[in-house]
Amino acid sequence: MGSWKKGFSQIPESAILINIWLFMQRIAAILAVLAIVAEIGGFGSQALAKEETHASEYPILQTVEGSENRTLALEFPVEKMPTKKPNIQPEDTMVPEKIEVIKEPEIIDTTGFDNTYRAAGEAYGISWEIISAVHLVETGRSGDTYVSSYAGAQGPMQFLPSTFYTYGVDGDGDGVANINDVDDAIFSAANYLAACGGTYNISQGLYGYNHSSYYVNNVIAIAQSIGYQG
């Protein structure tokens, strides 16, 4: 024991301090290593916990035993599947849907009397094209006129006065049935054609208007050229 103390007392004080300092440095290094190991262990625990949470939320699909392709797939819940946002425009920028409006075909009066033909035809059940054709054959679709034929027929629709007396009507609402007035004559012609059976058989009605087969065929041909389909 005495020799140990003697030997220790012979070591310079500076060497003792250096050894103590080196010892302390080793202790510090060891503590630093332990701290790093502990920190790495903490990260590992957090990663493992996160992985377990992710696995419980999105379970891995089980593959079939013996399958060559053993690719694992995550089964995402439907509500958490990534979805594409619909392209919805704000109300103030949305283009209003165009609504196609079907317009009724415009009725064009090609003779100046088409509306009168139509009104007379509806009143007595005679196609307006037939009335128009009769007017064309009789006087070339004249307006009010006092023209008369060699047989004594008068006015725009060439009525015999005796026939007009029986079938003449007031077509323009002035209270008078005038054989020379175009409106009265057109309505009277429709009335006469209907009285002769034209409502049910237009050829019969036309033959009663003028006892000529040529006349009947000519009037029907003209009527067909302007749209008559009877």
Strand pairing partners for 60?
Answer: 74
Distance CA 177, CA 182 (A): 10
Query: Per-domain residue ranges for the chain?
Result: 11-103, 114-225
At 89 the pLDDT is: 60
Question: Tell me, what's the pLDDT at 41?
Answer: 61
pLDDT score, position 192:
98
**pLDDT for 71:** 47
| Residues of the chain where predicted confidence (pLDDT) is lower than 70 | 1-15, 37-96, 98, 101-108
In this prediction, residue 222 carries a pLDDT of 96
pLDDT score recorded for residue 9: 54
Q: What is the pTM of this model?
A: 0.55
Please write down the HEC assignment for all residues of the chain: CHHHHHHHHCCCHHHHHHHHHHHHHHHHHHHHHHHHHHHHHHHHHHHHHHHHHHHHHCCECCCCCCCCCCCCCECCCHHHCCCCCCCCCCCCCCCCCCCCCCCCCCCCCCCCCHHHHHHHHHHHCCCHHHHHHHHHHHHCCCCCCCCECCCCCECCCCECHHHHHHHCCCCCCCCCCCCCCHHHHHHHHHHHHHHCCCCCCHHHHHHHHCCCHHHHHHHHHHHHHCCCCC
Class for the domain spanning 114-225: mainly alpha
- The mean pLDDT value of the chain amounts to 79
Q: What is the pLDDT of residues 11-54, one digit of tens each?
A: 566 667 777 777 787 787 787 777 776 666 655 566 555 656 55
